[in-house]
């Protein structure tokens, strides 16, 4: 590995969502899916960053479900960052306050509107790392994953989990679309790629290729 990308996670909010902080030796960091909701969760993120002397340079959502965006406003305001999402996630982001009401989640900060959009094939540079944007819809209408090939790291959002896949029953979700995203964008990656999902433990592409029951069933068709 010629470059070094560090992946740290903070598990947040009642949905136990993984917020990821990606950073390199130059201490620039990207905050992906800040789910921090309570004051304590926001302080935990802020302390993590300040204790390591990190400099947040980008704020990205893999997709805009409520559990992944609760800290958007806090991160945008605290670090003077503008939000980056895939354009196809705008309707999901726009539904935030309504969804919060449905789930009975109070004290929700309305997310800032996106300042720019990311799309398939974009390359996001961080120090000497290059994160490629993979378009992986199906769990939500325009989910993306971030892939760093040299480090062998995939930030997977809610597309692929250890032993499972993202749910497809929410607005804009579609099972066939999700499985095609997994097959065409993720299963083409090397077995040793570390997968960091939006919920639960990290896994690898190889482990999921071998034993994920949803993938096995899909590929057996």
Instruction: Please select the residue that binds Zn ion; options are 65, 109, 153, 179, rule is CB under 5 A.
Output: 65
Q: Considering the complex, what minimum distance in angstroms separates the CB of residue 170 from Zn ion?
A: 7
Interaction pattern, residues 91-130, with Zn ion; x per rule: CB under 5 A: ----------------------------------------
| 39-51 and 72-79 helices, crossing angle to 10° | 40
What is d(CA 77, CA 57) in angstroms, rounded to the nearest whole number? 13
Q: Considering the complex, what minimum distance in angstroms separates the CB of residue 125 from Zn ion?
A: 26
Minimum CB distance to Zn ion smaller for 33 or for 148 = 33
Does 158 interact with Zn ion (rule: CB under 5 A)?
Answer: yes
Question: Of 42, 41, 61, 49, which is closest to residue 8 (Cα–Cα)?
Answer: 49
Q: Considering the complex, what minimum distance in angstroms separates the CB of residue 173 from Zn ion?
A: 9
Q: Considering the complex, what minimum distance in angstroms separates the CB of residue 53 from Zn ion?
A: 31
Pairing of strands 6-12, 144-148: unpaired
What is d(CA 68, CA 15) in angstroms, rounded to the nearest whole number? 9
By the 8 A CB rule, do 159 and 145 touch?
yes
Minimum CB distance to Zn ion smaller for 69 or for 215 = 69
Strand residues in 118-192 grouped as ranges (E): 123-126, 129-135, 144-148, 153-157, 160-161, 164-165
Minimum CB distance to Zn ion smaller for 133 or for 159 = 159
- Full strand arrangement of the beta sheet holding 153-157: 123-126, 129-135, 144-148, 153-157, 194-197, 203-204
Q: Considering the complex, what minimum distance in angstroms separates the CB of residue 111 from Zn ion?
A: 14
Contact window for Zn ion (CB under 5 A) among 8-16, 63-71, 117-125, 204-212:
63-71
CA distances from 186 to 24, 34, 107, 139, 179 (A): 24, 23, 36, 14, 10
Minimum CB distance to Zn ion smaller for 144 or for 151 = 144
- Residue holding tokens 């503008």? 82
Minimum CB distance to Zn ion smaller for 24 or for 61 = 61
Contact window for Zn ion (CB under 5 A) among 24-32, 111-119, 124-132, 153-161:
153-161
Does 86 interact with Zn ion (rule: CB under 5 A)?
Answer: no
Contact window for Zn ion (CB under 5 A) among 15-23, 150-158, 204-212, 213-221:
150-158
- Interface positions with Zn ion (CB under 5 A): 65, 158
């Amino acid at each position: 590995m010629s470059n070094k990308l560090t992946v740290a996670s903070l598990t947040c909010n009642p949905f136990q969502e993984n917020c990821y902080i990606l950073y390199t030796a130059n201490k620039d960091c990207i905050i992906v899916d800040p789910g921090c909701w309570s004051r304590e969760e926001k302080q935990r993120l802020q302390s993590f960053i300040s204790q390591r002397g990190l400099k947040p340079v980008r704020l990205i959502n893999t997709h805009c479900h409520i559990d992944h965006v609760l800290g958007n406003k806090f991160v945008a305001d605290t670090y003077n960052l503008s939000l980056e999402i895939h354009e196809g996630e705008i309707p999901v982001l726009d539904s935030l306050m309504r969804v919060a009401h449905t789930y009975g989640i109070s004290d929700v900060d309305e997310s800032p509107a996106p300042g720019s959009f990311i799309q398939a094939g974009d390359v996001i540079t961080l120090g000497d790392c290059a994160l490629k944007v993979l378009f992986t819809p199906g769990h939500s209408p325009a989910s993306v994953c971030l892939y760093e090939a040299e480090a062998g790291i995939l930030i997977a959002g809610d597309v692929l989990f250890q032993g499972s896949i993202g749910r497809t029953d929410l607005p804009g979700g579609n099972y066939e679309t999700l499985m095609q995203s997994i097959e065409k964008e993720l299963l083409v990656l090397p077995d040793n790629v570390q997968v960091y999902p939006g919920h639960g433990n990290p896994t690898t592409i190889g482990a999921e290729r071998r034993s994920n029951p949803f993938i096995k069933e899909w590929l057996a068709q």
